[in-house]
Structures are given as C-alpha cells and as structure tokens.
Structure 1
Amino acid sequence: MNHPKRRVRGLTVAAVLAASALTLTACGPDIGSGGGGTASDRLQAPTTDQPEGEITIWDRSGDLFKVFDGVIADFHKKYPKITVHHEAVDINAKLQNTLITGTDVPDGVFLDDAMVSGFADHLWDLSDVLKPYVKDIAPQKIDANTVDGGIYGVPYDLNPGLLYYNATALESAGIDATKIATYDDLLAAAREYQKAKPGAKPIHLEQGAFLGQLQLEMYASQLGTSLADAKGKLRLDSPEYKQILTFLDTVQKEGLGTRSEYLGQTDIAEMEAGNEVFYPWAIWFDFAPQQLLPETKGDWRAMELPAWKDGGARSGAMGGSSFVLPKGGKNSQLAWLFYEFLMYDEAGYSAVWGPSDVYPEGLNTSIPAYLPAAEPTKPLFQKVPALGDQDLWKVATEAGSQIPAGTAIPSWWNASTDYLGTDLQRMYDGELSPDQVIEKAGADIQTNLIDRQ
C-alpha cells in the first residue's frame, strides 16, 4: 500500500479502469481459460535451487515502491542469479493495454484486490505455488483473490478496520472510549460527547462516493458479508446491509456525524478542533495523526471496531492489494520466487514492514496477510509516537485475526460506486431511506453491471 493519500487517488482511477476491464477478457489474446480450469493455467515453481534470469516487476511510484526496492538486495543474497528490473508504473493506466497487446508484459504487478477478478483470464492461477502457505494466510485475503476456484494473487497486506479516537478530547468529557463494545455504545458515546461539547459532530461520515462505499464494505465484512457472493450474485438486499445503513442514517439524522472527505480540509479542521473524535477506518488512517494533525498529534489512539452485536467480530477488511503474475510475462516462475521471498521469508517480510530508510519506525499503515508474520507478540514496526506511543501492531494484528472470511471481489465492484456509493450520499442528503438505497442501488447494479457481463 502506498502513502494513504496517494493510495486513495490510485483507487479512484482504478474505478474507471475496472469498469472497462469488464470486457477485457473478451477482447484479449487467447492465453488460457483462467479460473483454475486446467493444470496448464496453474503456475509451477522452478525446480532448481539457483535459477537464473531476469524479471520485470511493476509497482506504483511512491513510498512503497522505495520499500520494495530496498528489499531487492536481500533477495539477491538468496537468489544471486536473478536480476530484478523494478519499474515505477502507472499500473491503472498501462496494465490493460499491455495485457491486450501482449507486448512487454511484466512478470509481476502490484494490484488492488478489487482489480484482480477483472484480469483473471490473463493471470496465472497460483493455487499450486501458494499451497504450502494457504493455511497460514488470512482467509479474507485468499477469498478476495479466488475466482472460480483459482487463486490469482499473492496476498500482500491486511487492512483491518479500527476505531481511531481522540482520547484526550473524550477524557476531558468524561468518556472512556475503551468501554465501547458495540455500535450502540458508539452512538451513546457520541451523544454524550455532543452534550459536553455542543456543536461537535463526533463520528466521521465519508462524503466521497468511492471511499464511502469502501467503508460500507468494511462494516459488511464484520458481519461476514459483502456486496456479492462467491458466484458474483448481488446480496445488497439483506438484513446486514439494512442494519449498517440504518446505523449510518441514524448518525446523520441525529447530527452526530461530520460529513467530509477523507483527510480533506474540512475533515482535518474538525478533527483539530476536537469536533470529530471517532474515526472508524482502515489501519492506514494512522497517517493522519503522524503527518496531518499537528494540534492533536499524540491525542489519538486506536482500538478494535465496535461489534454489531455482543460477541461479534471486532474488525472488517477495508481495501487491500496483492501481487499478480501475468501469463504473458517471460519469467513468471522467477517472479514467483521474488514474491515468495517478499511475503513468506522472514528476511523479506521483516524488511518490508520493519524499520527502513523510508519508514524509520517501520511501515505501520498495514499489516502482513501472512499470519506467521503478523504475530501480535513479535512486532515488525515500532510503537507509534503520534498515537501516544501506542502499540498499534498489537491492536491491528489482534483486530485482523477477527476479520471473517469473505468472497472474491467482483470485477464490477469499482464501477458499482456510481450507484451504491452515490446513493449512500443521497441518503445522507435526506433524499433516500436505507430501504430505498438498497432497492435503487441494487436494481441499478444488477441492470447496468451484472446483466451486461
């Protein structure tokens, strides 16, 4: 995952690409059936101990590119005969045409999970090479990369949802946020804070259509559901989505929510003023107190999300990325060794998430999807000063362990934000009820996206 602000921009562009990727498999070259259909679709690992050759790896420019670049020297210690050409690429703009033409296809690509299914026919099924590791990878990440029984991505990060809160502001109002166990408790705490600080709107409500829907899916993930089932069937019309939308509608109607774009000018101003003190979001929100909130830096803390019911899961997945290996790459087997080192070798994942020149305290905006690397008692990144020296690693890994298994993300997911994400905003405007959001967005997604595949 890149720096969160840049990552959001990438996801927004991905929404456009994913919509066009719906037809990619129909217009691309005949490079295999995908879907785990035949043995020839499944990548195999090299059979020699010291394979040699050259690989081209695409990553997005930015901080994470620099992190991965710094691990290449460690990889060379294990595989000195493999040369890595590491390229910073606008993947969202370039990957589709590259796969269609089959020209200069990279051996490995960093890709948002929401994009994987749309490109599956052009990617190696990694079921065989991942087999030794599957049982130790977060189930939600395996499911997110599974299409028709095949696994098409090497899971990279786990982005557990957390409840960030301004502990100093809440304590001044006599509120102990750590006692919040359910979303009903969160509503009660928000009402109590508003009484102590009139004019405050304590809970963040996302104003962007794309990120608003992504956050909605975080809440749904907690309840073990998502926008589509494993076969791509829409399941928006459900008690789970009704419960989530009713909660969000309540926050808006009672004036308990600051409706603003993620880390936009209004968002930052309201947090700095102590008016917005609860932020249910992915782990990568921690960038804000570290870089964008000088007035309240050190006041913020993180905890598990509230549960939707007593004893329920205390976290859900919000976003994520994986590594994919296109069939058109010249040295896919060698690229697999690079990703295997990066994600499943202690030297590799320690270099990714541990202290580095890029992140002196470690990469603390995500945690590994590989569970042996995400051991709560063995932190890869250090305590976060901007969170009052809190042990975010422990909080995040314990939250991540509660994320329910999920399903593959349908190829039309990003395009669906034009409907569900937009209608969610209309609900906040008072134009639609939760039931109307479900009915209208569901019908539009079915007609305009699913039925046209």
Structure 2
Amino acid sequence: MSTPPIARRGFLKGALGVGALAATGSLAACAPGGTGAAPSKLAAPSASASSVKGEITIWNRSGDLFKVFDAAIGKFRAAYPGVTVNHQAVDIDAKLANTLISGTGVPDGSFWDDAKIGGQAEHLFDLTDLIAPYRDRTAPYKLSVNTVGGKIYGVPWDLDPGLLWYREDILEDAGVDPAGLATYDDLVTAARTVKEKDPTTKPIHLDKDPFLGQLWLEMLANQQGTSLTDAQGKLRLDSAEYRRILTWIETAVKDGLVTHVPYLKPADVNTLDSGQQVFVPWAIWWSFAPQQLLKRTKGKWRAAPLPAWTPGGARSGAMGGSSFVIPAKAKNPELAWLLYEFLCFKEPGYTAVYGPNDVYPGGLSTSVPSFQPALDPAKPLFEPIEALGGQDLWKVAVEAAATIPAAAPIPWWWAQSVDYLGNNLQRLMEGKMTPDQVIAESGEKIQRNLIDRS
C-alpha cells in the first residue's frame, strides 16, 4: 500500500478540522434548524442506463483514494456509456463549503465528511426518496449521521469500525486469551497481567493528539449508543456513558497501564515495535501501521472486536467516516446520483472500490462498505493481510461493523469543541483532571461558546 499511514490521520484532521469551518457565522446560520430555504428533493432519472446522456463534474480528494475512485468510475462509464464524468482532485476541505454557500461553480457531486453534512443541509439535495430502496440494507450509523430533520442528505459510503489491535505473541506469553477480552474491565485486567509479566510494558495506547483523542472518545461513546449531542443538538456529555469512559481512562492511567503518545509519530512507532504497547483500541484504519510502519513487530499484530462497556453490549463503534453529497445547485444532479448509487449500492461498483486494484493489490482495507449486502463475511472484498500474520481482517471488521449503533448528526461545531473537550481529555490522560472536571468544564464551555452562540 503506497499511502503513508500518517495520511489517514491527516485526512481526518482535515476532514473535521477548523480550516473548512472558518466561516463560522455562515455555517452557524445554515446549521440544522437554521433559517435557510427548504432543501430540494431529488428524483432519479427514469431513462434506461443505455439511453441516459449528459456530463457531470465530480470532486474527490487527491491521493491514492482518488486513483481508486477513478478506476471505479471507469466501471460506471462502461455501465452508463452516455455519461461523461469529469473526475477532479480538489482540496475539498478548503473549497467545498464556500462553494456551496456562494452557489457558483458547484460540482454535480462531491466526496465529503459525515461531520460536515449536517451543517450544510440547506445547500444539498434531499436524497431521502432515492435512498429509500436501500435504507433497510444500510448501516444504521451511516444513515443517522446523514439525517437532519428526518431527511437524508448524504449517500453513505464507508464504515470505519473500531477494533482492538493486540500483540498476539505477548498475550500468549502472558497467558492472556484474547477471546476473553469481552469488556473494558477485562482489558484492564489483561493489561495488569501483561505488566506483571514484564514491568517495562505500558500496554494500552492513549493518544496524545487532542483532535484524535476526541474522535476516539466519540467512537467509545458511539459503542454505547450515544454521542456528544442528540438529534436536536442538545449536549449530552454529562451522562453515565461518557463518565464510564472517562473513569476507565482514569483507572488505566493511575495504574500505570498506558502509553500516552501521538498517533504513529516516532515515539508511538518505537514503543509499538519495542513491545511496550500491547493494546491499541482504534479504528480499522490503524491497519496501516503494521503494513507500512512497524518493522520489528510486523506480522505479530492481530485485530479483534472492541471490548464492550457492559456485558453483552456493542463490540464496536464508528471512528470517522465519509459520504457523497449532491449540491442543490448542481447542473446534472440526477446523473451524479446514478454514479453514487453505482459506487455504493451496486455490483460491480463497490467491488471496484474495495476489491484488489492497481493502487491496493490486496484491496482497500482501511474501511468497509456501509451497504450491508456488500458485507458478506464469506465473500471478502479485500484479501487477508500478511502484515497481520495472514489474518482475515475482512471477517473481523464485518462482524464488528454489524454491532455499531446508530448515532445523531455530527454538530457543525464539533471540531471547535476540541479546544475544550479534546484538550481536557488530554489533561485527564496526564492525571491533571478528574472525569467530573472534564465533563463539567468542557460542557460549560461548549454550551456557552458554541451551542448558545449558534
């Protein structure tokens, strides 16, 4: 795989970062419940595939993923020979929001992050009727984050399930059965056992980046069926679910069980390779690390479902994600829908994206489709990964993805809340704040500075 693993972190930081939210006043005005015009509802073209004609401009991010989609669009051109697709690599984070607001030069469709869609709904087509035939077969999480006021504004693409990455050899040496890590209490117990066997270990990874730390926190909250706000935008940080996560972090820190380092920077890579870190609860896209960065421990890492927060609870949550949007002022929105329908809901569309290709010979293994018929454990879209000892990551990820609960639209101010919650989460990891202090201080500042001002 040719994309550096750090690129996924950069991709996510760009996806949710403040750069694309610079026009705070404009975004606040078009947040859910704003005063903008009612969104237009889009209907699919009625002509047959062979007779549909026209031209569309589609925006995607540059890089390896652009190349993957470009090849998949080639399959679409074969299915719809009358449609010309101008596939363009664009700095979407810097350009798309302002383009939607100005209404000039808008593409017919664009890749976009789930975090952005709720705040720009009035500038997008209502796709509810078009998604309806696929709704019951789409991951509930992806539907929920694309829904504002009961209407769907994004075509769900990827699903990024959280997994527990672990060193198989170290657990075996310590007598820890990974199949027994059913809850987060079990994970702490296992970390203590590993540390008793080798006091130099600090087994559990906690991330030192405030943005990624908060994104990780939201994955753990999603596991419990909650998120920073509800569907009406009401803050729900002060809850049993968030307190459970923060208390667990506090316990692990006090017991000396954590390595607190920034994601895949040298200190992280070195402690992963040295055996100091043994457990990494993280999204599927951590698979980049053993495939590209880890040298001494390549082949020794494995993936399992996340532990549950309570016995019998969900074994995964979503960490990040993207979809496709169709601007309300697009020239040929119906044709853009046909493209996205093909890529997300049709065969061979999703196979062209996730299956083996020139860019990723073994397939795209950093997420899975959100369309459930594509998630057949017995029919993997990407191959077993040599850097994981030949493990069938597809099967693990698909089974974990099936447990991800639904969520709520991500508030437009999420990235700005990192200044409060993300930073205070770091102070908790450093032993400088308590869970109650994190909740009280972060909640008060988010409410006053972000929610009330919107």
Q: Would you say same fold, with TM above 0.5?
A: yes
Shift of 1:21: 5.0
Shift of 1:372: 0.3
Distance in 1 separating the partners of 2:127 and 2:258: 43
Shift of 1:173: 2.3
Shift of 1:249: 1.1
- CA distances 1:217-259 after superposition (whole Å, capped 9, x unpaired): 1111111111000101000000110000000111112110000
Distance in 2 separating the partners of 1:17 and 1:156: 23
Asked whether the 8 Å contact 2:27–2:412 carries over to 1, the reply is no
- 1:120 matched to 2:115? The reply is no
- CA distances 1:290-331 after superposition (whole Å, capped 9, x unpaired): 001011111000000001111111111111110111112111
Distance in 2 separating the partners of 1:126 and 1:292: 40
Distance in 1 separating the partners of 2:334 and 2:236: 38
Shift of 1:17: 3.5
The residue that corresponds to 1:137 in the other structure is 138
The residue that corresponds to 1:321 in the other structure is 322
- CA distances 1:155-200 after superposition (whole Å, capped 9, x unpaired): 1111110000010122122222222111111001100111111121
Distance in 1 separating the partners of 2:357 and 2:23: 36
The residue that corresponds to 1:211 in the other structure is 212
- 1:161 matched to 2:162? The reply is yes
Asked whether the 8 Å contact 1:24–1:119 carries over to 2, the reply is no
Distance in 1 separating the partners of 2:331 and 2:427: 48
Asked whether the 8 Å contact 1:325–1:332 carries over to 2, the reply is yes
The residue that corresponds to 1:409 in the other structure is 410
Gaps of 5+ in 1: none
Gaps of 5+ in 2: none
With 435-444 and 99-108 compared, the bigger mean Cα shift is at 99-108
Shift of 1:429: 2.2
3-state secondary structure, aligned to 1:280: strand
Asked whether the 8 Å contact 2:5–2:293 carries over to 1, the reply is no
Distance in 2 separating the partners of 1:21 and 1:169: 49
Asked whether the 8 Å contact 1:25–1:122 carries over to 2, the reply is no
Asked whether the 8 Å contact 2:148–2:409 carries over to 1, the reply is yes
- Percent of aligned pairs with the same residue? 57
* Amino acid in structure 1 at the alignment position of 2:18: V
The residue that corresponds to 1:44 in the other structure is 43
- 1:23 matched to 2:22? The reply is no
3-state secondary structure, aligned to 2:165: strand
Pairs within 5 Å for 1:84-233: 84-233=85-234
* Amino acid in structure 2 at the alignment position of 1:443: E
Pairs within 5 Å for 1:256-267: 256-267=257-268
Q: Post-superposition, which runs of at least 4 consecutive aligned residues in structure 1 deviate over 3 A? A: 17-22, 25-28, 37-40
Asked whether the 8 Å contact 1:34–1:123 carries over to 2, the reply is no
3-state secondary structure, aligned to 1:346: coil
Shift of 1:24: 2.6
3-state secondary structure, aligned to 1:322: strand
Asked whether the 8 Å contact 2:41–2:125 carries over to 1, the reply is yes
Distance in 1 separating the partners of 2:37 and 2:412: 22
Distance in 1 separating the partners of 2:342 and 2:203: 43
Asked whether the 8 Å contact 2:259–2:277 carries over to 1, the reply is yes
Shift of 1:430: 2.2
* Amino acid in structure 2 at the alignment position of 1:319: G
Question: Alpha carbons of 1:341 and 1:196: their partners in 2 closer, same or farther (altered >3 Å)?
Answer: same
Shift of 1:26: 6.6
Question: Alpha carbons of 1:27 and 1:406: their partners in 2 closer, same or farther (altered >3 Å)?
Answer: closer
* Amino acid in structure 1 at the alignment position of 2:67: K
Distance in 1 separating the partners of 2:412 and 2:28: 13
Distance in 2 separating the partners of 1:81 and 1:169: 57
The count of residues paired between Structure 1 and Structure 2 equals 448
Distance in 1 separating the partners of 2:104 and 2:360: 35
- CA distances 1:382-425 after superposition (whole Å, capped 9, x unpaired): 11111111111110000000011111111111111111001101
Q: TM-score, normalised by structure 2?
A: 0.95
Distance in 2 separating the partners of 1:134 and 1:20: 33
Say what the alpha-carbon RMSD is for the aligned residues.
Answer: 1.8
- CA distances 1:16-70 after superposition (whole Å, capped 9, x unpaired): 1354354335778xxxx999x9996111111211221111111111111110000
Asked whether the 8 Å contact 1:3–1:63 carries over to 2, the reply is no
The residue that corresponds to 1:8 in the other structure is 9
